Amino acid sequence: MENISIGLLGLGTVGSGVVKVIRNHQDKLVHGVGCTVHIRKILVKDPAKERSVEVDPAMVTVNPSEIIEDPSIDIIVEVMGGIEETRTLLLKALENKKHVITANKDLMALYGHDLLKAASENGCDLFYEASVAGGIPILRSVVDGFASDRIQRIIGIVNGTTNYILTKMSDEGMSYSEALKEAQELGYAEADPEADVEGTDAARKMAILSTLGFSMNVGLSDVRCKGISGISQEDIEYGQQLGYTMKLIGTAERDNDSIDVTVQPALVSVSHPLAAVKNENNAVYVYGDAVGETMFYGPGAGSLPTATAVVSDLVGVMRNMRLGVNGHSAAFPQFEKKMKTAEEVFKKYFLRLVVEDEVGALAEITALLSTEGISVEKIWQNPKRGSVSEIILVTHKVSEKSFEQTLVKLNDSRVVSRVGSSFRIEI
């Protein structure tokens, strides 16, 4: 096979890593695919910007057409981010019979189906391993490793920035804003970090994972999503006192043919391995009918870890080129999507109530919970602060619908000043 030429869209955190991995692992790449890999052109916004990697200035352009329309370029590696403009570029690249590799979960969660269809129609590969969980080869594992099994549940930590923030807040008492600033400086956060902290980035990844895992067309709007920006140091500490760690958890669960997909801050037992996943690391549990429980762990963000996933996709495309089998990589959904209702989802909950410190308050709250059919596993009253005190509860499993209705009634109750916070207890 002739030497392969690549057009790289983006030379930021991930793009610089891609240049380094291709350079440093050239021998292995040559051995694996039988030819050299050569970056021909690189698209950036600002050619004058200082880079963490040296590249020949003649290769750098601000004009995407110089790459997308260049007949000598075989593969486009998209690590620039963005949605509409990027989608147009990649569709054009596929029309021009270029294979595409992307790390862009924003794009894949919204337009993955259309792009994969375009790739298939043009006989091209479109791979996106780096879009979920950075350096962990999770998509290939879900698609190929579980090809003979039926996935029932996927649960894990799929955002490095929020895991970094929660780790620093829990272990070092660092403030939310200071921890976010560090995550940005380390290159983990998105250009607009709101996508990380409000859970949208994780929701996009869970949409991609559940589409592949359950073979249904799961979109971003199917993922019920809440972020970590409202988490207080107090919530983290109460969780710790009860033996739990706060994490931003993604869940995708299937019962019979209905599914539920969520992203939300949740408590996990300190004895569970997910509690030990620190900083920018991610971990994903996949439960198959036949295999049972499997765990995938590793760096979920950062330059070189993400670049390894991108370059592994590159090797995949090049192997297919050698075998002449490109364009068959897309696995289109097999089943109709059916989402569970809130009556069909059962979870344990942590609940913090700010109450009037008066005789009978506890009795009134437990009576209200029992009329709603909620059974309490643990209860604990915190010493008085002014005229109010706090009651912390852990419930047994209850339907999401009953729990939400109970929250409304608690907020209306004479003895409850307000519901301070509530979180699922996932594990």
Applying CB under 6 A, the residues found at the interface with ligand NAP are 10-15, 43-46, 49, 79-82, 85, 103-105, 130, 134, 187-188, 190-191, 301-302, 306
- Shorter beta-carbon distance to ligand HSE: residue 137 or 327: 137
CB of 151 to ligand NAP, least distance (A): 23
226-259 CB burial, b ≥16 within 10 A, e <16:
bbbeebeeebbebbeebebbbbbbbbbbbeeeeb
Q: How many helices (H) and strands (E) does the chain have?
A: 14, 17
129 binds ligand HSE (CB under 6 A): no
Summarize the annotated binding site for NADP(+) as residue ranges. Answer: 9-16
Contact call for residues 259 and 216 (beta carbons, < 8 A): yes
Among 134, 137, 156, 316, binds ligand HSE (CB under 6 A): 134
Catalytic residue among 168, 205, 247, 348: 205
Q: Would you say 193 or 288 has its CB closer to ligand HSE?
A: 193
Minimum distance of ligand HSE from residue 16's CB (angstroms): 15
d(CA 265, CA 219): 20
The yes or no reply on residue 128 touching ligand HSE (CB under 6 A) is: no
In the list ligand HSE, ligand NAP, none, the entry touching 420 (Cβ below 5 to 8 angstroms by class) is none
CB of 131 to ligand HSE, least distance (A): 7
Q: Which does 406 bind (CB under 5 to 8 A by kind): ligand NAP, ligand HSE, none?
A: none
Tokens standing for residue 258: 């209905």
Does residue 156 touch ligand HSE according to CB under 6 A?
A: no
Site for ligand HSE in 164-203 (CB under 6 A): 188-190, 196, 201
User: Least Å distance between CB 168 and ligand HSE?
Assistant: 14
Q: How far apart are CA 112 and CA 210, in angstroms?
A: 13
Looking up tokens 């793009």, which residue turns up? 15
How far apart are the C-alpha atoms of 118 and 124, rounded to whole Å?
8
Residue type, 327: G
Token pair of 302 as six digits: 């950062």
How does strand 99-102 pair with strand 151-157?
Answer: unpaired
Q: Do residues 189 and 180 lie in contact, with contact meaning Cβ atoms separated by under 8 Å?
A: yes
DSSP state, residue 143: I
Shortest Å distance, C-beta 426 to ligand HSE: 19
Tokens 């000598």 sit on residue: 72
* Phi-psi sector, 348: left (phi>0), alpha (psi -120 to 50), beta: beta
Residue 219 binding target from ligand NAP, ligand HSE, none, CB below 5 to 8 Å by type: none
Record the tokens describing residue 265, joined without a space.
């801050």
Give 310 or 374: the residue with its C-beta nearer to ligand NAP: 310
**Which of the listed partners (ligand NAP, ligand HSE, none) does 196 bind, with a CB threshold of 5 to 8 Å by partner kind?**
ligand HSE
Q: Which amino acid is at 129?
A: E
Closer of 180 and 353 to ligand NAP (Cβ): 180
Quickly tell me which residue has 């375009």 as its tokens. Answer: 118
Is 205 in the active site?
yes
Q: Quick one: what does residue 37 bind among ligand NAP, ligand HSE, none, with the CB cut-off 5 to 8 Å set by partner type?
A: none
Binding of ligand HSE at residue 227 (CB under 6 A)? no
Which residues would be at the binding site for ligand HSE (CB under 6 A)?
134, 159-161, 188-190, 196, 201, 300-301
Active site residues: 205
